[in-house]
Amino acid sequence: MSIALLALTAGAFGIGTTEFVIMGLLQQVAADLQVSITAAGLLISAYALGVAVGAPVLTIATRRLPRKTVLLALMVIFTLGNIACALAPNYALLMAARVLTSLAHGTFFGVGAVVATGLVAAERRASAIAIMFTGLTAATVLGVPAGAWLGLHYGWRATFWAVAAVGVVALLVLAIFVPRSQQAEPTVALRDELAVLARPQVWLGLGITVFGFAGVLAVFTYIQPLLTELTGLSAAAVSPVLLVFGGGLAAGNLLGGRLADRALMPALLGSLAALAVVLFAMPLAIYTPVAAVVFMGVLGVVAFATVAPLQMRVLEQASGAGQNLASSLNIAAFNLGNALGAWMGGVVIAQGPGLAALGWVAGLLTLVGLVLTWWSRALERPRSALAGV
């Protein structure tokens, strides 16, 4: 069980690295391809939208294949996409390569989350998801700072070559350690899987994910200009700060999994409330180097404390034949939130009050997710009361 979960974590590390590494390279990419910072930020939004489209489509298309086969095929797409990014001669082709790479993302995490929950006892399912998502936090702790360092010293293309090499390693680890017993459910009819889309609580869960997580990317997408232009740090200091943020992500991810195993809805409400408070506090911390570093660490903790509860909430509401689809849709929802946050941040920078206001916009987005969570909980109360009569 442990080895299989670690194999899934390795795959998550590779995919997470390619999603977030561009954030430490925005200025280099913008300068090399002669586009604005806002245009470079759209490389993140386009990736996220590709995930949102690819997740449900590929999940349905591959639903009768063994899950291990699906995971391996997705890692091949991931690796080829990063090679295409490294070779892209202009902005348009880099955008296309990013979208190609993104197609693997949602289905990998969606199918991988279902595989992870099937490897452990029922009371440890959220923790199993958190362990797999540790690969995503490790990508931020190690992959993103390393990618930023490579981009600073050897050019941004070197970073994508390195990420492609990570994809090859992840492919081998998955091939060796994920058990062949992780099969699809060939007896489930398509209409039974799609029936999950008729459940209002599933849609509410997806909405909570979109808005609850959007605030994180509204800030994190523009972390490089935030730290250099507002905090006054050098470009070389960005990588160490990203390490602090990544350490917070790792701690928050495991904390969120444990809290969700104990009491799912309180964990979800508490983590989203904490995230909103921290985002609203950003304008108070970002102008002082020490305060900014502390802020980034705390933001990492509260940001990823939401991940396991958000994923587990949708899986809980989609119990039955539609879990694969619902799980992938929730990964799509995370990335719609990423796209929304990156886009909103770009609008604030280009047409609004600028970088300093990102925390307020980010906090409002997460606050919407918190309101949806209260609504979802309120809808369950009448049913719970009837069950007790």
Residue 264's contacts (CB-CB under 8 Å, 6 or more residues apart) are: 126, 309, 312, 313, 316
Say if CB 24 and CB 153 are below 8 A apart: no
> With bands split at pLDDT 50, 70 and 90, how would you rate the model's confidence at 353?
confident
Nearest to 59 by CA among 118, 111, 129, 16: 111
Domains of the chain, start order: 2-387 (1.20.1250.20)
Q: Residue 279 pLDDT > 90, yes or no? A: yes
Query: How high is the mean pLDDT of the chain?
Result: 84
The DSSP call for residue 227 is I
> With bands split at pLDDT 50, 70 and 90, how would you rate the model's confidence at 119?
confident
Query: For the residues 5-18, what does the mean pLDDT come to?
Result: 83
- Greater confidence, 354 or 289? 289
pLDDT digits (tens, 9 = 90+) for 310-322: 988 888 887 666 6
pLDDT digits (tens, 9 = 90+) for 32-74: 999 888 788 888 878 878 888 887 888 788 877 888 888 889 8
pLDDT digits (tens, 9 = 90+) for 163-217: 899 888 888 888 888 777 554 455 566 777 777 778 889 899 999 999 999 999 8
- Distance, CA of 365 to CA of 211 (rounded, Å): 5
Nearest to 369 by CA among 259, 209, 257, 256: 209
Q: Residue 220 pLDDT > 80, yes or no? A: yes
Query: For the residues 215-244, what does the mean pLDDT come to?
Result: 86
- Greater confidence, 124 or 172? 172
pLDDT exceeding 70 applies to what percent of the chain?
93
| pLDDT at residue 385, as a whole number | 47
Q: Where are the beta strands (DSSP E) in 119-232?
A: none
pLDDT digits (tens, 9 = 90+) for 356-377: 889 999 999 999 999 999 999 9
Q: Residue 141 pLDDT > 80, yes or no? A: no
Q: Residue 114 pLDDT > 60, yes or no? A: yes
pLDDT digits (tens, 9 = 90+) for 295-349: 999 999 999 899 889 988 888 887 666 677 787 788 888 878 888 888 888 888 8
| pLDDT at residue 383, as a whole number | 54
Say if CB 246 and CB 145 are below 8 A apart: yes
